[in-house]
Structure 1
Amino acid sequence: MQESVRINKRLAEMGLCSRREADEWVARGWVTVNGQPAQTGQAVTAADQIEVAPAARQQQDERVTIVLHKPVGYVSGLPEDGHQSAAVLVQPGTRWREDRSPRRFAPSHTRGLAPAGRLDIDSTGLLVLTQDGRVAKALIGADSGVEKEYLVRVHWAPNGPQGPGVVAQNVQAVFAPELLQRLRHGLQIDGRVLKAAQVQWQNPEQLRFVLREGMKRQIRRMCEQVGLHVVGLKRVRIGRVQLGQLPLGQWRYLGPSERF
């Protein structure tokens, strides 16, 4: 007997949409199973013939994904503690003049934008905001393995950032190689063993991190465990999408041929 799953999960597994989007498609009558309109929560198997109406694909094509260079002081998601959401920066006047996307800005492009991954309030760099459930699933889904690359300026502060023994210059010279190896693999946060990371020195005061997960304040907490204090953190890449020359506080559309 073939295993059955809910229709929304099956559509997501097929890479067509997110589960939430799938529920919307079913509710609008855009999905059929074996020639019959699908029902919300319906169970299907691999043997069932599932078809999606062109209207669903057209709706997807109208949804946008924004690449933003987030400044320090903005939160990734909803406003909190008096700090604005980075989404408020998505305005016609802050669009990068060198954006090559053929899209013309429309007010609808700012509705329902959700961050596909967090970037701390005191961090800067590449933040992705999207209306597209497929993008969100690819970047923050449970099985996502998309790389995120960061440049991280650090001080050696084994007794805390305000304690004795802080080294702000040529940190690499006082940082033991075995501690660098611990950053790469062997640390835990909240009782969970972290996935292996790529970590290397870019210059004597700056590390390059490449992660395949994104726990809250992960890099800062990793560094604390080995005596480092983060004084600057910038995300420069998500998958194959680079921050590049995008100016601070400005944004562009994800291009039609770009993939994470």
Structure 2
Amino acid sequence: MRHFNLLLWANLVVFICSAQNNQGGRLTAMGATGAAVKDLWGVAANPANIVGHPTPSLQITYQLNAISKDLSTQALAFVFPINKQAIGIHTQRYGMAEYQSNSIALILAKEFGPKLSLGIRGTYHQLRISGYGSTTAASIDVGIAYQLSDRVMLGYFLNNPSRSDYIANSAISIPTVGHLGISLQASDKLLLSGRINKENFALGFDYQLVSIFSIRSGISLSPLTHYFGIGLVHNKFIVDLTYLKNSQFTHTPQLSFGYAF
């Protein structure tokens, strides 16, 4: 019975955590449509998209969950550009006192000419359930980004193509999901983006009202979720405020801070 309960809890947590790959304030507010958007949080959305980031940058984000006030997500993203390459670090903690999912990832990305970039992310996962112990896993993710034209970009990100499992029991697996994305720089101020996978479809936008202030919004279909956000940039500091509302829960707030070195 104890073994059965462990599997039940672990699979529940893995299922929940698979939907909690947080993409930071900006991309989350755009409907989590980061598969084809150049951004620091490509460390979570598509590793190929961290190439071309102008300076070393660090951001942290904190999201409360509407299921429980004790349930939250904390994540960190860091990117260090080196000529036509980039190195990234991504850490995330999701959970509460009774159970936690933690991960740390190293990302490597490289440009191959002016249009194509590739990225790879290696992640170490830890899943802990109070009273039952913990288990670990390692996975590899891959991403590609292609600049179709000056204004249109395509991206594809594949989670865990090797179908890695947690060590404790092969029944507990990390999801394998492919994400196809497209973005359109409609004007100097307006960016449109979209993402599709086998379970969901999402659209979003980012509009820069003035040089230091942007508004964002997005929508995804499964479950029906609305996203809203604003972004502030002052000198080298970045602040993003994001809210999610879906058909199952109430508002979910998220706050992000960043600094470009």
The bucket for the TM-score relative to the shorter chain is: under 0.3
Question: Whose Rg is larger?
Answer: 1
Instruction: Tell me: higher relative CO, structure 1 or 2? Use CA pairs within 8 A at least 6 residues apart.
Output: 1
Larger proportion of helix: 1
Larger proportion of strand: 2
Name the TM-score, length of structure 2 as normaliser.
0.23
Name the TM-score, length of structure 1 as normaliser.
0.24
